[in-house]
Amino acid sequence: MVITGVGAHCAAGTDTPSLWARMMSGEPSIGQIEIEGLGTLAVGRAEDPDAEGAFGRKEARRMDRVSQFAAMAAAEAIEMAGDLGLAPERIGSAIGCCHGGMATLESAMETVSSRGADRISPLAIPLLLTNAPVATTARIHGLRGPALSPTTACASGSDAIGQAADTIVAGRADAMLAGGAEAPLVAMVLAGYRRLGALSPSSGPTTSRPFDTTRDGFVIAEGAGIVVLEEREHAIARGAPVMAELAGYGISCDAAHITDPDADGAGPARAMQLSLDDAGVSAGDVDYVNAHATSTLLGDLAEARALVSAGLDGAPVSAPKSVAGHPLGAAGGLEAVVTVLAMHHGVIPPTASLTDPEPEPALNHVTEAREADVRVAVSNSFGFGGHNACLTFTSGDENPTTGGSPGAHGQ
């Protein structure tokens, strides 16, 4: 299962070249938003997508912001992949999302309050559902194969990519667009996370500090990240460049606290090991770990312990959320894109704003862009409710490691 195209639109860039340049610079893309009753919050706000210019005024008006992000990122990924040479019925989509069309929901609630329930838009419901990003992307790009919308909190994007690969393996599609999308920067969502104690109370550009002893919460963000998956043989036959191979997918559930991770990281470690096993590689083969690392006290510590348990504490680790913020259900999709770009360019992006790493457990942190031959990489995603997802990527070579032959996803 190989990746032949990637696309992104987020706080750190409106496409993959600008996203990669920002990741390489290590300069955070953290801004501010003023919310009545909440004050000033740090957020990763993306540039408004030009959906009208890309898809026409009529279609743009039939999309919530979250769906615009998804459709724009998908357009870039499709253009990069080139002509798939497949019937639309054999091309599917899987886009994870936590909250759906929050701007639409907030607007509908305001309308009901100020003008009456009979005044809301007849399109309010289809625009605010969590399946809206995948439904919109399928409609805009004519993808008539399976359309999936995993909603596993902040693991949604990675689960979408893993489920997309499973869909191809099962023979239900020959190619899939997969990733995540989120547009949560509305008062109701921000207030909820603030009341939960998950958001950083700081509002400066270096607020997101994964693995740093001074971290105090995550920076909520928005955007989308999409990859194109297809069978290796099909990609080679049509002469498409292979950017990376999705070789493994592992999932688990803590089945414990409603928001907090298991303190010892046992669930995430299990997902990592399952992903490595699926890929037919060992922990010692891994050249890069793209950490979930949200900049919360408990989450980062649990992930660090999980990396130790999985034998990955020696691998170079970095946290893209230090630059782009935490886009919730889009995180797995965006970070899969970053991981693939790291493999493609041979450079590991740095963790920004990490000046005082937690001493225990010690990890091999990357704090400046580091050239590396990344042949095996792991990308982690964890979410409220105990959802754990891990993706293992390989270079796409026939024998990317000495750790054994690829698993089912890599065949």
Produce one character per residue of 173-202: b if its CB has 16 or more CB atoms within 10 Å, e if not: bbbbbbbbbbbbbbeebbeebbeeebbbeb
Q: Which tokens is 117 given?
A: 């329930």
Catalytic (active site) residue 253: no
Catalytic residue among 292, 344, 365, 387: 292
Produce one character per residue of 332-367: b if its CB has 16 or more CB atoms within 10 Å, e if not: bbbbbbbbbbbbbbebbbbbbbbeebbeeeebebbb
Catalytic (active site) residue 365: no
Distance in angstroms (rounded) separating the CA atoms of residues 338 and 143: 25
Catalytic (active site) residue 99: no
Catalytic residue among 98, 154, 387, 390: 154
Specify whether the CB–CB gap between 278 and 250 falls below 8 A: yes
Catalytic residue among 326, 344, 365, 387: 326
Residues marked active site are found at 154, 292, 326
